[in-house]
């Protein structure tokens, strides 16, 4: 059975890993300094073991379903969590005063404090990597190791920010909602475009049906996102694994080497024949790389 807060289209999922992860999504109240009422936060938790707990953070305009293939491989070996960042996925967006990086970080720390409660391995993919970097710079004692998967971090401006005023903000989110546009973005993210199946497209768009999707996306983009991080990356303290697809057409290859050079305890591992999403395109090798790193 699927949780009742998910849109009815969830019934159209076909891939076993997609169905299993969707069925495992919970939504529980998290007290934060951001609002008087707790925030209903979507997450999945499975697995147990001696290694430190793992928390996975998804990319821009995505959800926990982004980790449908990687999550079970990690959960077979360790206590594994994934959550929907504030303003994204299936986490409630109603009654929240802001959807900027600072709010995302406070919400994330509140989730960690109430659910995980001990130093963790923080894994961020794409924009989730930027959220992970911002978090670890503020709360280094919460993170034992950091893993960045084709992570955002060196961008200094966002083209979409210039469009986020009426009526262009509404047009921009309508553009991003368009199935053809989302399909083209997905095709660019993969090296092997055969991964862009109807199931994958549904996983990438199911959260659009929840209330206030466009309002939260506009607010986050107007905030400037994570364009402030580039000069702070060298301050990262925990050991950091950088996983990067050799054929990344979203961010290219240069930022991978920049991360390795900037982070004192950084180690770069290239994923061959892979685009921007190694956790989806090469989940087995990505999981193996992460688990071997945790044993170091």
Exposed e or buried b per residue across 271-291, where buried means at least 16 C-beta atoms within 10 angstroms of its C-beta: beebbbbbbbbbbeebbebbb
State the sign of the Cα–Cα–Cα–Cα dihedral 129, 133, 139, 141.
positive
Q: What percentage of the chain has pLDDT greater than the value 90?
A: 82
Candidates 296, 164, 190; CA nearest to 245 is 190
Give the pLDDT score at 172. 65
Residue 92 CB partners (closer than 8 Å, separation 6+): 27, 39, 40, 41
Write out the E strands in the chain: 26-30, 39-46, 54-57, 80-83, 120-125, 143-149, 240-245, 266-271
pLDDT at 157: 61
146 and 212 Cβ atoms separated by less than 8 Å = no
The three state secondary structure string of 72-88 is: HHHHCCCCEEEECCCCC
pLDDT at 167: 43
Residue 152 has phi, psi (to 5 degrees) of -75, 145
pLDDT on residue 164: 42
Domains and CATH numbers, the chain: 8-294 (3.40.50.1820)
Count of C-beta atoms within a 10 Å radius of residue 171: 11
Which positions ≥6 away from 19 have C-beta within 8 Å? 13
- What pLDDT is attached to residue 98? 87
CA atoms within 13 A on the CB side of 250: 24
Q: Say if CB 64 and CB 42 are below 8 A apart.
A: yes
The residue written with tokens 């053809």 in the block is 180
Along the 296 residues of the chain, how does pLDDT read in single tens digits? 999 999 999 999 999 999 999 999 999 999 999 999 999 999 999 998 777 999 999 999 999 999 999 999 999 999 999 999 999 999 999 888 889 999 999 999 999 999 999 999 999 999 999 999 999 999 999 999 999 999 999 987 654 444 444 444 455 667 677 888 888 989 999 999 999 999 999 999 999 999 999 999 989 988 989 999 999 999 999 999 999 999 999 999 999 999 999 999 999 999 999 999 999 999 999 999 999 999 86
Identify the H or E element spanning 106.
Answer: helix 101-111
pLDDT at 181: 82
Listed in sequence order, the DSSP H helices in 147-212 are: 168-177, 179-189, 198-205
The residue behind tokens 């997905």 is 186
Residue carrying the six token digits 């054929």: 247
Distance CA 271, CA 251 (A): 14
pLDDT at residue number 264: 95
The helix/strand/coil state of 40 is strand
């Amino acid at each position: 059975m699927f949780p009742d807060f998910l849109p009815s289209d969830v019934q159209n999922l076909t891939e076993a890993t997609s169905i299993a992860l969707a069925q495992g999504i919970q939504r529980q109240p998290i007290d934060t300094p951001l609002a008087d009422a707790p925030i209903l936060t979507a997450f999945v938790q499975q697995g147990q073991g001696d290694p430190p707990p793992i928390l996975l953070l998804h990319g821009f305009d995505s959800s926990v379903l982004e980790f449908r293939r990687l999550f079970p491989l990690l959960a077979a070996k360790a206590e594994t969590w994934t959550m929907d960042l504030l303003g994204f996925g299936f986490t409630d967006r109603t009654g929240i005063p802001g959807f900027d990086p600072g709010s995302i970080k406070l919400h994330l720390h509140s989730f960690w404090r109430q659910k995980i409660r001990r130093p963790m391995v923080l894994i961020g993919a794409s924009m989730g990597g930027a959220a992970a970097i911002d978090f670890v710079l503020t709360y280094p004692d919460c993170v034992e190791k950091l893993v960045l998967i084709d992570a955002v971090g060196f961008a200094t401006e966002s083209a979409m920010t210039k469009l986020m005023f009426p009526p262009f903000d509404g047009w921009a989110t309508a553009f991003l909602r368009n199935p053809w546009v989302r399909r083209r973005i997905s095709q660019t993210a993969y090296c092997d475009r055969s991964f862009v199946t109807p199931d994958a497209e549904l996983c990438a768009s199911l959260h659009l049906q929840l209330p206030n999707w466009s309002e939260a996306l506009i607010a986050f983009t107007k905030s400037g996102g994570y364009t402030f991080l580039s000069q702070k990356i060298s301050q990262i303290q925990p050991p950091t694994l950088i996983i990067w697809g050799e054929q990344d057409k979203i961010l290219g290859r240069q930022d991978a080497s920049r991360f390795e050079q900037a982070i004192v305890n950084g180690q770069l591992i290239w994923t061959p024949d892979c685009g921007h999403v190694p956790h989806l395109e090469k989940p087995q090798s990505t999981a193996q790389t992460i688990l071997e790193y945790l044993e170091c």
